[in-house]
Amino acid sequence: MAEVKPGSQTGGPTPVGGGPILLISELALAYGDLTVLGGFDLSVNEGEFVCLLGPSGCGKTSVLRLVAGLIEPGGGKIHAAGRLVTGPGTDRAMVFQNYGLLPWRTVLGNVEFGLEIQGESRDERRQKSVQQIQRLGLAGFERHYPSELSGGMQQRVGLARAFTKNPKILLMDEPFAAVDMQTREYLQDELLKVWEQVRTTVIFVTHSIDEALYLGDRVLVMGARGGETQADVTVDLPRPRYATDVKASARFGELRGQLREALHSGEGHARASHRRESAGGTDDDGSAK
C-alpha cells in the first residue's frame, strides 16, 4: 500500500471546471482555551467535489460554518468566488444534517423560501422551485408538510431548496447521517445525478470513508487536533459513480485502505499529544499548555 503523506495526492486528477473558487489561508478558530482550527489551509477548484473526513471535534463543521459566513474566524482569510468572506452571501448555500425545514410551510413553500428572502418574484421562484422538486423526485408532494414526509424526503427538500439558489459553492454538513443505509445510498446517487448536471462546487462533511470516496473528487483527512491535514487524496475513480458498482472495484478498496491509515495516523498523533500535555509538556508549536 502506498504511503499517504500530509498534503499529498494519489492517482490521476479528476477533471474539474476551472481554477480555484475557494481559497482558505491560515484559518484560525478558538473557543476560550480550546483551539478548533490553527492555521488551516484549503484550495478548491471550481466545479470540484471535496469531502472533509475526520473524527468528531476535528473542526470539519466549523470550516463549513466559517465559509458560509455564519461565524467569524479568529484569524486567517477566506475568499469565495473572488471575494473576501465577511458574512453570509447568495454565492454560498448550506445543507444541514437536521434538514432545517420550516414545519409550517409545505414542500413547495420550503423550497421557495431562499428565493423569497432574496426578493425574487412569485413566478420566478415558483418556476425554479418546481424544476428542483421534479429533479429530486418530489413531484406530487408539493403541498405536503415536513411532518408528513420521511427523513429521506425531508433531506431531498433541503437539497432542492439549496439548488434553487444556484449557489457557486454548496456546503453540506453530514446531510445523510440521520437516515438508514439504503436511503443514504439512494440520496448519494440523487445528489450525484444533480451535481453532474450543474457542477456546483461542493464541500461535503462526513464521517464515512465509503461515502467520501463515492462522492468526492478529493478527500481531505483532518486530524483530531486543530484542523491539521493528515492527507489530501485525489479520488481517481470513474464518473458517473452510480453507473457501475464502483465500490466493488479494487481501486476503491485501495483508496479506502489509504484513508483508514491516514485517519488512524491522526488519532495516534492526538493521543500522543494528549499524553504530553497531561505530563505538563508543550503543544506541537512549542507553546505552553
| Residuewise pLDDT in 10s, the chain (289 residues) | 333 433 333 333 344 555 799 999 999 999 888 889 999 999 999 999 999 999 988 999 999 999 999 999 999 999 999 999 999 998 999 998 877 899 999 999 999 998 998 889 999 999 999 999 998 889 999 999 999 998 889 989 999 999 998 899 999 999 998 888 998 998 999 999 999 988 999 999 999 999 999 999 999 999 887 778 899 999 999 999 998 899 999 999 999 999 999 998 866 454 544 444 444 443 333 333 3
Contact criterion met (CB below 8 Å) for 101 and 158: yes
**pLDDT value of position 18:** 59
Say how far apart CA 168 and CA 47 lie, in whole Å.
Answer: 9
CA atoms within 13 A on the CB side of 132: 27
Q: What is the DSSP letter of 282?
A: B
Three-state DSSP state, 58: coil
Task: Give the cell for residue 120.
Answer: 425574487
Say how far apart CA 204 and CA 215 lie, in whole Å.
Answer: 9
End-to-end CA distance of the chain: 37
**pLDDT value of position 228:** 85
What's the count of helices (H) and strands (E) in the chain, helices before strands?
Answer: 7, 10
Three-state DSSP state, 76: strand
Nearest one of 88, 61, 44 to 219, comparing CA atoms: 44
Strand order in the sheet with 83-84: 34-45, 20-31, 75-80, 83-84
**pLDDT value of position 277:** 43
